[in-house]
Amino acid sequence: MHVMSQDVSRRRGEYRLRQTSAPRLLRVFGMAAIWLLLTQSVLAQAPSEGSPLSLSQAVSIALEKNPLKKAALADTRAALGRSDIVLADTGAVKMWMARLYPTYEPNTCLISNGLSTMAFALPGAIGAKLAAPDRRVLAAVGDGAFLMNSQEIETALREDIPLTVLIWQDDAYGLIKWKMDLELGRDVAVGFSNPDFVAYAESFGARGYQVRSAGDLLPALTEALAADTVSVIACPVDYAENLRLTDDLGELSGPF
């Protein structure tokens, strides 16, 4: 018979206590509350003085505080045509792309969704380009997911399959960190170091781009998508706004 240690029991008790002190919306719906938040439009009117923060206003403020994340969403949409294909990998990048990336035709934003197959986007982009050779294809991936399957750059180059990889780089497993911070109040062992992604891409014979400011991204995307080869773009993002969004849930007003 398994006997729970006092330490485990105490920690579980502390976790339940933290849950009861969380904002009610987050406590009841958990991560679904975040999806609810991200579902809303980023086009919001400025709140009047003293009025509670709405869902759309919270998203808009978060994007304004993080211009590179805003650029990653808006510039991806601007660089791709209506029938071009983007694959959003599993992770924090999916949380933002799934709800804030506009699409106009079926099967132009491909997401693993509930299967949560981390690192599917790069090999998936190869398959998408083979299936639709006349369309431009972009894999939007976190740095953790990219490193799990980055060797497929060689496959794409060897088989002459042009595509672009946009890395949302935060030097961490961003979604796992987000969930840990929400549910435990801290995170453990989610950070890691990255290679020089430009040099890494070039070592395979691909093109490499480093985004250093919000204004760098759209020109890099435009050039990479026009090239008849494999391109890798590293774009730093700050996922600190993830937790700030969920902190704002306690101040949100309807309708939901």
Do 144 and 171 sit in the same domain of this protein?
Answer: yes
- Write the CATH number for 180: 3.40.50.970
Specify whether 218 is located in the same domain as 101.
yes
Please check whether residue 31 lies inside any domain of the structure.
yes
Within this chain, do residues 48 and 80 fall inside the same structural domain, yes or no?
no
| CA pseudo-torsion sign 36, 84, 229, 208 | negative
Same domain, 108 and 27: no
Question: Domain count of the chain?
Answer: 2
Buried b (16+ CB within 10 A) or exposed e, 70-91: bbbbbbbbebbeeebbbbbbbb
Same domain for 160 and 92: yes
pLDDT of residue 40: 42
Residue 73 near residue 123 (C-beta atoms within 8 A): no
Separation of alpha carbons 142 and 149, rounded Å: 11
Looking at 41-55, 155-169, 193-207, which range is the least confident one? 41-55
> What residues contact 181, with CB distance under 8 A and at least 6 apart?
187, 243
- pLDDT interval class at 92 (50, 70, 90): confident
Looking at the fold, whether 101 and 206 belong to one and the same domain comes out as yes
Q: How confident is the model at residue 238 (pLDDT cuts 50, 70, 90)?
A: confident
Q: How far apart are CA 109 and CA 97, in angstroms?
A: 9
**Which pLDDT belongs to residue 28?**
43
- Most confident option among 10-24, 56-70, 78-92: 78-92
User: Out of 11-20, 124-133, 241-250, which region has the weakest mean confidence (pLDDT)?
Assistant: 11-20
Query: Per the domain annotation, does 16 fall within a domain?
Result: yes
Question: Quick one: pLDDT band at residue 64, thresholds 50, 70, 90?
Answer: low
Residue 184 domain-assigned (yes or no): yes
**Does the residue 1 lie in any domain?**
no
Same domain, 31 and 77: no
* 40 vs 159, more confident: 159
Q: Is the pLDDT of residue 27 over 50?
A: no
Same domain assignment for residues 72 and 44: no
Residue 129 within any structural domain of the chain: yes
Q: Per the domain annotation, does 121 fall within a domain?
A: yes
Q: In the predicted model, is pLDDT for residue 203 greater than 70?
A: yes
pLDDT at 50 over 70: no
pLDDT value at residue 86: 98
Give the domain range for residue 249: 6-59+243-253
Residues 107 and 210 in one domain: yes
